[in-house]
Structures are given as C-alpha cells and as structure tokens.
Structure 1
Amino acid sequence: MAKVLSINLSKETGVVKTPIEKGEFIENYGLQNDAHAGEWHRQVSLLGQESVDKIRKLGLIDKLEPGVFAENILTEGIVLYELAIGTRLKVGETIQEVTQIGKKCHHGCEIFQKVGDCVMPREGIFTKVLKGGIVKEGDEIALIKKEG
C-alpha cells in the first residue's frame, strides 16, 4: 500500500520544509500557507522515501529528515517518477494530477548546500490539486483509474 509519511511546508522557496501534523490542500492552489502554492502547474511537490534512501546510501548526510528536499508530501510504496503526466492520485481527501516529473535545480539552494545532492530534480514530481481536502501522515495514496 502506498501511503503518506509526512506533510511539509515552508513560508519561502528554496529552503528545507518543516513537517506539520496535517495539511489543508486547496483546489487549484496547493498546500495552504506553503510558499510554492498558487495558480500554476507545480502546486504540490511529492518525493518518495525510496528516493531519499538512495541519497542516504551515498553517505552524504547521516540524518535526512522529512522536508529536507523541500517536498510537500513524503511518500512510501509508490514509484512517483515513473508515473505519467496526467496520472490522477487520491491522496488523503484530495485528488491530485501529475503535471511534471523532476525540475531544474539551482545548485545554490539550501537543500543542495545542506545535503550535497538533491534528488528532487530527478525523482520528485509535481501535482495540481483537482479536489481539495486534508492530508495527514498515514493516509493512503491510490491511483485513480481513467474511465474508458
């Protein structure tokens, strides 16, 4: 079963995000109070614990806390970067659509400086919130089958 390990937010871009108990995700906007939220295609960022573990194995940093790669949602049990653009996910109460896989990284960011590498540009994904709601640690993540 794929699930949510952590919800994370920050008030500014390019910094490590802080874990929160639960997040309110707003339709066509993103995570309430997060710096990356807005009316654009990268409203929410997701990263798999499996991707974080790859960096841990490189020995770059001992402890990699949730949010260190500036992900809004840390997941487990789903290979995010293999999902196709347009894939819809039910995450907690929300429905989100994959809009982008990876991103261009600016190496001066706090994450790269702190960790020595950033997996987000290679394996992180971005979504747009189609249906808002609450997401919290332990919530299930399910693929929504396309009709037809």
Structure 2
Amino acid sequence: MKVAALKVRDSKDNICYISEAFLEEDRGIVGDLSKRQEYGQVSILGSEFREIIDDEKMEGLCSFGFDENITIEDLDTKDINIGQRLVIGDTVHEIICIGRRCAKDCKLIQLEGKCKLFMNVVFTKIIKGGVVKVDDKVISLR
C-alpha cells in the first residue's frame, strides 16, 4: 500500500491537493479545516474506490461533497479493524471508525438502503505526528 493523494480543505471550503502534509498528534492535518471530529481526525479512502466515485458519478448526497484526506492504493477496508494501527510516512494512525452514517434523504439510502462510499471510508486518530508525502508506504500493524 502507498499514499496516492493528500487533500485538505482550506478556509474558503475548497479542496486542495498537496504533495506533503504535517500531521499533529491528537489533532490531524495542520491546515485542514474539515469538520471531522465526530468520526476522527483524518479520513482515508482506497484509491480504487475513489476512482469508482469519480467515474460513476455516484448519486449519493455525500459522494458529491466528500473528499478524503489520504487516498491509499490497494487499501481493502475488509482487512481493517477498529484499534488497528497504520504507519503512513512518519506518522502512526489508529483506526477509530470504519464507515459513516448517511443522510436519510440520500437517493442511495432510499433506493438501496446503504451507501457504498461510507462502507469504504476509514477514520483515524493520530498517535504519532510527522510528515506524510504522496508515494509514502503504508504499513499495517496488526
């Protein structure tokens, strides 16, 4: 696994792609103004699923407004557990949430009963801060 992309939300609510990020212990990405405290400090999504979202133009409410902080190649959330740790660049993350509640008025929820997007997103807490760069290796600690 490796980091495919890094993103932050700026003061104007724009998503900005960055080549490296500084992650602060117990806080998240420095300069990211996303409101994620309910779920975790950093959001992670597999690159394969990001491609599905972008290519298929999923019609869920959240898929239009959701952008993960870290996109990881070859991430399979079926192999991830709460409490598991990931080493990403210089940082250590602890998985604190897998998936996310969806809006009841979302078309996907009404039609299918579930949203594929939020079964594939992972939220973490920063255990050890440091720098993460695009192309950094991701190591799963079990």
Shared fold by TM > 0.5? yes
Contact 2:82 2:98 survives alignment (8 Å):
yes
1:91 counterpart (69, 88, 92): 88
2:134 counterpart (130, 133, 137): 137
Per-residue deviation, 1:107 = 7.8
2:17 counterpart (9, 14, 19): 19
Q: Which has the higher helix share?
A: 2
CA distance in 2, matches of 1:11, 1:82: 32
Contact 2:23 2:132 survives alignment (8 Å):
yes
Deviations 1:123-146, CA, capped at 9 Å, x for gaps: 11000000000001000000113x
Per-residue deviation, 1:55 = 2.9
Q: Structure 1 residues 120 and 103 mapped into 2: Cα distance closer, same or farther (>3 Å)?
A: same
Q: Structure 1 residues 40 and 103 mapped into 2: Cα distance closer, same or farther (>3 Å)?
A: closer
Q: Which residue of 2 aligns with 1:124?
A: 121
Question: Structure 1: which 5+ runs fail to align?
Answer: 62-67, 109-117
Deviations 1:91-140, CA, capped at 9 Å, x for gaps: 010000000011123489xxxxxxxxx75422110000000000010000
CA distance in 1, matches of 2:121, 2:14: 15
Q: Which residue of 2 aligns with 1:36?
A: 34
3-state SS of the aligned residue for 2:49?
Answer: helix
Q: Which residue of 2 aligns with 1:104?
A: 101
Deviations 1:6-64, CA, capped at 9 Å, x for gaps: 11000369x6622112100000000001123787750000000111233345x328xxx
Contact 1:25 1:135 survives alignment (8 Å):
yes
CA distance in 2, matches of 1:135, 1:107: 35
Q: Structure 1 residues 81 and 107 mapped into 2: Cα distance closer, same or farther (>3 Å)?
A: farther
Give TM-score scaled by structure 1 length.
Answer: 0.73
CA distance in 1, matches of 2:118, 2:36: 20
Q: CA RMSD in A?
A: 2.8
CA distance in 2, matches of 1:107, 1:24: 35
